[in-house]
Chain A
Amino acid sequence: MRFDYSQELEDYRAAVRAFIERHGPGARKHVGVRAPDPDQVPALRAWVARLYAAGYLGQTWPAAYGGRPGATIEHTFIVAEEIARARTWGEIGAGALAAGAVLAFGSEAQRQRYLPRIRSGEDLWCQLFSEPGAGSDLASLKTRAVRDGDHFVVNGQKVWTTNGHHADLGYLLARTNPDVAKQAGITAFALDMRTPGVDVRPLREITGTSDFNEVFLDNVRIPAEAVIGEVDGGWRVANASLGHERSGVSARAVELYAQLDDLVELARRTTTAAGRPAIADGATRQRIGRLAALAHVTDVMSKAVRSRIANGTEDAADGPLAKVFFSEVNLAMTECGVALQGVGGMAVEGDRQAYADGWWQDAYLYARAYTIAGGANEVLKTVVAERALGLPRDKR
Chain B
Amino acid sequence: MTGGASASAEHDELRQVVRKFLGERSPSHAVRRLMAAGEERDHEVWSLLAGQLGLTGIAVPERFGGAGYGPAELAVVLEEMGGALLVAPYFATVALAGQALTASADEDAMARWLPGIADGTLTATLAVAEESGAWDLAEVAAAAEPAGGGWAVTGTKLFVIDGHTAGLLLVVARAPDGLGVFAVDGGAAGVEAARLDTLDPTRALASVAFNGAPAVRVGVGRDTAAWLPQVLDLALAALAAEQLGGAARCLDMAVSYAKVREQFGRPIGSFQAIKHKCANLLVDVECGRSAVFHASAAAATGQPDAPLAAVLAYTHCSQAFTRAAKECIQIHGGIGYTWEHDAHLYLRRAKSSQLLFGPPARQRARLAELAGI
Shortest beta-carbon distance, B346 to chain A, in Å?
A: 10
The yes or no answer to B190 lying at the interface (CB within 8 A) is no
The yes or no answer to A314 lying at the interface (CB within 8 A) is no
- Tell me the bound Cα distance from A339 to B352 in angstroms: 10
> What 1/0 mask marks residues of chain B from 127 to 145 whose CB sits below 8 Å from any chain A CB?
0010011101011000000
Given the complex, which residues of A lie within 8 Å of B271, measured CB to CB?
Answer: 378, 394
Given the complex, which residues of B lie within 8 Å of A160, measured CB to CB?
Answer: 334, 337
A342 near B358: Cβ-Cβ < 8 Å: yes
The yes or no answer to A178 lying at the interface (CB within 8 A) is no
> What 1/0 mask marks residues of chain B from 178 to 220 whose CB sits below 8 Å from any chain A CB?
0000000000000000001111100001010000000000000
B197 near A343: Cβ-Cβ < 8 Å: no
Tell me which residues from 317 to 373 in chain B have a Cβ below 8 Å from any Cβ of chain A.
326, 329-330, 333-341, 343-344, 347, 351-352, 354-362, 365
A273 near B337: Cβ-Cβ < 8 Å: no
A350 near B197: Cβ-Cβ < 8 Å: yes
- Tell me the bound Cα distance from A73 to B356 in angstroms: 48
Interface size on A, residues (CB 8 A): 55
Given the complex, which residues of B lie within 8 Å of A339, measured CB to CB?
Answer: 354-355, 359-361
B352 near A346: Cβ-Cβ < 8 Å: yes
Given the complex, which residues of A lie within 8 Å of B133, measured CB to CB?
Answer: 342-344
The yes or no answer to B158 lying at the interface (CB within 8 A) is yes
Given the complex, which residues of A lie within 8 Å of B344, measured CB to CB?
Answer: 206, 365
- Choice from B198, B274, B337, B355 contacting A372 with Cβ under 8 Å: B337
> What 1/0 mask marks residues of chain B from 99 to 140 whose CB sits below 8 Å from any chain A CB?
000000000000000000000000000000100111010110
Given the complex, which residues of B lie within 8 Å of A180, measured CB to CB?
Answer: none
- Choice from A132, A283, A364 contacting B361 with Cβ under 8 Å: A283
Given the complex, which residues of A lie within 8 Å of B9, measured CB to CB?
Answer: none
B359 near A136: Cβ-Cβ < 8 Å: no
The yes or no answer to A297 lying at the interface (CB within 8 A) is no
- Tell me the bound Cα distance from A203 to B337 in angstroms: 10
Given the complex, which residues of B lie within 8 Å of A342, measured CB to CB?
Answer: 132-134, 355, 358-359, 362
Given the complex, which residues of A lie within 8 Å of B357, measured CB to CB?
Answer: 343
Shortest beta-carbon distance, A123 to chain B, in Å?
A: 25
- Choice from B138, B329, B339, B358 contacting A203 with Cβ under 8 Å: B339
The answer to whether A369 and B337 touch (CB under 8 A), given A339-B360, A350-B197, is yes
A368 near B134: Cβ-Cβ < 8 Å: no
The answer to whether A135 and B263 touch (CB under 8 A), given A205-B337, A206-B337, is yes
> What 1/0 mask marks residues of chain A from 242 to 279 whose CB sits below 8 Å from any chain B CB?
00000000000000000000000000000111000000
- For B159, the closest partner residue in chain A by CB is A343
Specify which of A273, A364, A376 lies most central, judged by the most chain B CB atoms within 10 Å of its CB: A273
- Tell me the bound Cα distance from A381 to B273 in angstroms: 10
B329 near A368: Cβ-Cβ < 8 Å: yes
B358 near A343: Cβ-Cβ < 8 Å: yes
Shortest beta-carbon distance, A346 to chain B, in Å?
A: 4
- Choice from B273, B343, B356, B360 contacting A378 with Cβ under 8 Å: B273
Given the complex, which residues of A lie within 8 Å of B129, measured CB to CB?
Answer: 343
Given contacts A341-B355, A351-B198, 11 further A-B contacts (CB under 8 A): A133-B262, A137-B263, A206-B347, A273-B136, A342-B355, A345-B351, A345-B355, A348-B198, A353-B207, A372-B333, A395-B264
Task: Name 23 A/B residue pairs within 8 A (Cβ), A-sorted.
Answer: A134-B263, A135-B263, A135-B333, A135-B334, A137-B264, A159-B334, A203-B339, A272-B361, A273-B138, A273-B139, A281-B361, A331-B326, A339-B361, A342-B362, A343-B357, A343-B359, A346-B351, A348-B197, A351-B196, A361-B199, A368-B336, A378-B330, A382-B273
